[in-house]
Amino acid sequence: MSIFPVRAVVANRRRAAALVLAVVLAGALAACGDDAKSGAGSAGTSSQADDFGLGADVLAKARDEGSVNHVGSTLNPDIAKQMQNIMKDRYGIKLSITPLRAAETLERLRAEQRAGNRTVDTVGLGVQYGEIMKKEGLSEAFKPTGFPGFLTKAAEFDEDGFWYPFQLTLYGVAVNKSKLDPSKVSDWWSLADGSITEPVIFADPLLGSGGFTWAVAMEGEEKYGASYLNTLGERSNVQLGPVHADNVARLVRGDVAAYFPFGAFSIGEIKGSGRDRVELVFPGGKPYIGPANLSMTKGAPHANAAKVWMSFLMSEEGQTLVAKGGLTPARSNIKVPDPKSDMAHYTEVIETRLDNVIANHEQVEAFSQKYFGR
């Protein structure tokens, strides 16, 4: 703040006093303006943290930590960028989001635990991995304010706060309309029984938690099971695609007629004229639900920043961004821009339950090993 000297030679003391007061007030106002520009004010940040129920002490420690490393979740890239900007501008926390296959994320956590060199703070994985992390001592319980009351769309969660869904993805079949009439995808078997002869891509179930939960969801359906997966693997027109980005590119180009399982959020990855050529179909009118669960790691190097990040992601603001990214948020009071990406839009859905995942885990892994070499 600048201080301008008041010369003693000013004859009118009243006028001099007024001048001093004006200068001091102007300087104070300027300093306030500088504070507002530099960090949106610490008071504004504290009130946001208080909304989370974390308190100023946790927020201050989180700002000192300065970063949080999140691994494994699938978020719309544009939405992820918005979240990173908010975390940096509002809380002074650099948010790093590293997409990684679920199985690889789990192995990374195990390796870091053995080495005693932890780098991951939070993860977003499928339902079975949250339970595995809890049993192996890889996660730390954290309950955001309002837990579990806000989990109004979650079929399952850990009551102790070791894992809980932050989003639920609707999965179906992405069809290139110039290559295949979407109405031909009448149910999941139509992709495996020979009624569709055009080339299609099937994703590795271990590519991510979405593919895995799709496979076990199919296991839970009465007319599907391991025989369905094996039939897919043996069909000559079914190509096995381990890399998601490559699968999407081939679909848009028309190299293949369909790609599955395909998450509703991935539609946002298709830009320009390619978007008009692709339609997301839910066979039989029933999407299956693949939850992505949030967990804090045991011994997280930035534990306070992790709490701020997790609280933001589960807040109404964070969940609204999740919805804008084409995902079903865990909170039912959040308006979803595209109803077709909201599970509430459908009279029937296929939900992935933890007991079903555990019961069929080995069969799905065996399929992936046989056909994808994993």
How far is C-alpha 284 from the geometric centre of its chain's CA atoms?
A: 27
Residue type, 345: H
Residue 347: which pLDDT band, with cuts at 50, 70 and 90? Answer: confident
Give per-residue burial for 158-187: e unless 16+ CB within 10 Å, then b: beebbbbbbbbbbbbbbbbeebbeeeebeb
- CA distance readout (Å), 270 to 111, 225, 239, 300, 301: 35, 31, 21, 35, 36
Token output for 263: 């998450």
The percentage of the chain sitting over the pLDDT mark of 70, rounded to a whole number, equals 79
- Please state, in angstroms and rounded to a whole number, the distance separating the CA atoms of residues 83 and 24: 39
Domain ranges in the chain? 1-39, 45-166+291-343, 168-289+349-372
CATH code of the domain occupying 168-289+349-372: 3.40.190.10
In terms of Cα–Cα distance, which of 173, 69, 77 is closest to 122?
69
Concatenate the DSSP letters of all residues of 2-40 into one string. Answer: --PPPPTT-S-HHHHHHHHHHHHHHHHHHHHHHHHHHHS
Domains 45-166+291-343 and 168-289+349-372 share a fold: yes
Residue 156 · residue 163 · CB < 8 Å: no
Residue 304 · residue 49 · CB < 8 Å: no
CATH code of the domain occupying 45-166+291-343: 3.40.190.10
pLDDT tens readout for residues 147-188: 999 888 777 899 999 999 998 888 889 999 999 999 999 888
pLDDT tens readout for residues 227-273: 777 888 888 899 888 788 899 999 999 999 999 888 887 877 787 88
pLDDT tens readout for residues 9-64: 333 333 433 433 343 334 443 444 443 333 333 333 444 444 699 999 999 999 99
Q: What is the pTM of this model?
A: 0.75
| Rounded mean pLDDT, 348-372 | 76
pLDDT tens readout for residues 176-222: 999 999 999 988 888 888 899 999 998 877 665 556 566 655 655 65
Residue 366 pLDDT more than 60? yes
pLDDT tens readout for residues 309-346: 999 999 999 999 999 887 889 888 898 888 777 888 88
